[in-house]
Homo-oligomer: A and B are copies of this chain.
């Protein structure tokens, strides 16, 4: 139970509120105007957020990635680097996000029979959470995979009938005092 998440009043204002989502929007004020959230009075805490998602690919593409992974591995290396860079750039990608000091990023890409899965964990010591950073890492990491396999995934008309990014979610979000 994260009782002092003043940035995110939804479930946090009252423990009895569990299960009933709040109805306030985080980044708009009482006039409906978009705003940054004031985090100046919040203490520094250690935060960790993990997000995950997957890209569905044709069997031929998965085989090509596996071949590459067995030899050089640059496809997944590029996705890992793209994910880390996206995490660090979240403050400019997501307009109302704060600049926070990222202390750790862990990326895990796995090649399954009909998809590549991505999991990105982000840690920070600061005044606000880092789930947006983890989500940006996942979606950009999966987009990088897409970019790397464009030739293999396209059909004869240059379209992508089967390629899909699915199931992008926040796996967990933790906070502990310093």
Show the binding face of A for B, using Cβ within 8 Å.
1-2, 5, 7-12, 14-28, 31-40, 46, 53, 58, 60-61, 63-65, 68, 71-78, 80-82, 84-86, 88-89, 91-107, 123-127, 131-132, 135-136, 139-140, 142-144, 146-160, 163-170, 172-173, 175
Contact = CB atoms under 8 A, between A and B. Distances in A.
Contact of A74 (B9, B28, B86): B28
Contacts of A163: 169-170
B77 A82 contact: no
Q: Which of A27, A58, A92 has the most CB of B within 10 A?
A: A27
Given A18-B155, A27-B148, A151-B22, A82 B99 contact: no
B23 A150 contact: no
Contact of A68 (B25, B124, B125): B25
A113 to B, nearest CB: 15
Nearest to A93: B140
